[in-house]
Amino acid sequence: MPTTFPKCNPTELMGLLVLLNSHKGSEDVALLADDLDLEIDEIFPAVEFASVLQLVKVADGRATFTDLGKKLVSGSIRDRKAIIREQLRKTTLFRTLLRALENAPDHSLSDEELGQIISFTTATADEAVQNIVNWGRYADLFRYDADEQRLILTRRSPGGKAGPGSSHPPSTPGTSAEGAGASTKSSGTSSQDSEARLAGVASVTG
């Protein structure tokens, strides 16, 4: 998958998918925005990331579930998280972050080290970090220790269950994983050059 930065949080994406499901899995994006009483640029970040994760296809302004998207909305919360986890692992950004965490001696990254990885991209740092942490926590890829201000790799048991719980960073409104809103406006665009720069950053931070 390309280098793409989540400009929405899990709540907003899941809200979009639940709404799309109520429209029988296919609807004009503008009409979905109307249903949520939003401008189209407010819903587009969730549509874009759903497309990146291969949960929907967008053509001629219409969003339609992929088979994977249908599987996600029909699954349990655990099933949904498992699908999101595997799809995030395929993106350049999360693959780079996980490689850096795996290579770090204590399998953790400080805020400064995380910021160094973000600095290789065109993402807006503050919003990008918050959304990255929210997505990683939702998918049980990593956790955040607020006291130590460190991102910590989640250790998973052979059965696929995550390790002990985590401390959470201060979150912005609407970051509950299974909510039904979609309100974040798009900010900044990803660059194709970012993928090449991200390719070697894990070894620098490891």
Task: Fill in the amino acid letter for 69.
Answer: G
> What whole-number distance in Å separates Cα of residue 4 and Cα of residue 11?
18
Q: How confident is the model at residue 164 (pLDDT cuts 50, 70, 90)?
A: very low
Burial 157-175, CB ≥16 within 10 A → b, else e: eeeeebeeebeebeeeebb
In the chain, % of residues over pLDDT 90: 54
Q: How confident is the model at residue 5 (pLDDT cuts 50, 70, 90)?
A: confident
Q: How confident is the model at residue 165 (pLDDT cuts 50, 70, 90)?
A: very low
Judged on CB neighbours under 10 Å (0-12, 13-18, 19+), 147 is exposed
For position 166, what pLDDT does the model report?
A: 42
Q: Where are the domains of the chain?
A: 10-170+187-205
Instruction: Tell whether the model's pLDDT for residue 10 goes beyond 90.
Output: yes
> What whole-number distance in Å separates Cα of residue 124 and Cα of residue 152?
22
> Could you tell me the sign of the dihedral formed by the alpha carbons of 191, 58, 180, 77, in that order?
negative
Count of all residues that appear for the chain in the document? 206
Q: How confident is the model at residue 115 (pLDDT cuts 50, 70, 90)?
A: confident
Q: How confident is the model at residue 114 (pLDDT cuts 50, 70, 90)?
A: confident
For position 93, what pLDDT does the model report?
A: 87
